[in-house]
Amino acid sequence: MKAHISYIAMVSDRPERLAEYYSTYFGLRQLGRSEAGDVSLTDGFYNLTILKRRAELGEDAAESGLHHFGVAIDDIREIEGRLEEFAPNADIRGENGDLHHGEYRLIDPNGLPVSLSTKHFHTAAQPQGFPEIHHVAIKVPNGDDILNFYSNVFGIQEGSASLRSRQQGRPARFAGDGNTAWAILPMHSNDENEGNVEKAGFNHYGFVVPSMEDMLAKLPADGRTSKRPSIRPFAEWRTFDPDGNGIDISAQLGYEVDVDTWVRAPS
């Protein structure tokens, strides 16, 4: 089995405004809209869904912001078998499987929701040229436990950046699924350039862009765009969308999406 993180769900009072932002600045293309106001976009591989905040949404903690991510899988029965072996108390329930959701919902050991799809979330499942999403980051109090859970259930691999973090005595862990670099960060980590520092769960995500110079020149001034600290293994800059969701931006530094395998913009 080869599973891939390939879905991001955020909740917003203004999905159309966010959709316009991501189309204008990151070149995402529209997959479709729902009558309730949800909008789904894609870079070719990822489905980025902006859910309209409403009482009928049916999500726990449905305040505006990044809500959860999703994993494309081959076979739900295989996932159920791995959960039976490694996390017998984990909960799987159904989702409606439409354009804006997965077919299943897993609740991980920290109580974080994860959508699952055997249809690759209705995308082409192929990178189609930068800008592309290649990074997601969560903040949890038990990084090693969570890394073990996702490694056992979905087969993600701890990368060399994570091994260096261990050697330096740092609690951050980094893994990859072949397309996405996944950061598992500790709670209470902070630096002067980081917003939403204590947002537990899904904290931020990131793009590789073809030209950092061009991207910085066109981003809106109110995005609080700033350079990332040099100790970070991924991404040179961070910006924020109109709802305050954190977005890492990289060109030459890139993201380690598998062991010693990095995605960077062409030099």
Report the pLDDT value the prediction gives residue 189, as an integer from 0 to 100.
Answer: 57
Q: Report if residue 127 sits inside a domain.
A: no
Residue 252 and residue 187 in one domain: yes
Domain boundary, last residue among 74, 101, 122: 122
Question: Cis peptide before 131, with omega less than 30 degrees from 0?
Answer: yes
CB atoms within 10 A of CB 156: 22
Residue 210 and residue 164 in one domain: yes
Residue 58 and residue 153 in one domain: no
CB contact set of 51 (below 8 Å; sequence gap of 6+): 9, 10, 11, 12, 15, 38, 57, 59, 62, 67, 100
Q: Report if residue 182 sits inside a domain.
A: yes
Tens-digit pLDDT profile for the chain (267 aa)?
Answer: 589 999 999 999 999 999 999 999 999 999 999 999 999 999 999 999 999 999 888 776 678 999 999 999 999 999 999 999 999 988 899 999 999 999 999 999 888 999 999 999 999 998 889 999 999 999 999 999 999 999 999 999 999 999 999 999 999 999 999 999 999 999 865 544 444 456 778 999 999 999 999 999 999 988 899 999 988 889 999 999 999 999 999 999 999 999 999 999 997
Report the pLDDT value the prediction gives residue 195, as an integer from 0 to 100.
Answer: 44
Report the pLDDT value the prediction gives residue 194, as an integer from 0 to 100.
Answer: 45
Domain boundary, last residue among 122, 148, 165: 122
Nearest to 176 by CA among 248, 255, 258: 258
b/e string for 45-79 if b means 16 or more Cβ within 10 A? bbbbbbbbbeeeeeeeeeebbbbbbbbbbeeeeeb
The tokens describing 167, both together, are: 């050697």
8 Å CB contact between 188 and 203: no
Residue 250 and residue 191 in one domain: yes
The verdict on pTM exceeding 0.85 is yes
Assign residue 17 the CATH number of its domain.
3.10.180.10
The secondary structure of residue 219, as a DSSP letter, is S
**What domain range includes position 228?**
132-263
Report the pLDDT value the prediction gives residue 200, as an integer from 0 to 100.
Answer: 78
What is the rounded distance in angstroms from the CA atom of residue 236 to the CA atom of residue 250?
Answer: 5
Domain count, the chain: 2
Residue 118 and residue 158 in one domain: no
Residue 115 and residue 139 in one domain: no
Residue 169 and residue 105 in one domain: no
Residue 8 and residue 55 in one domain: yes
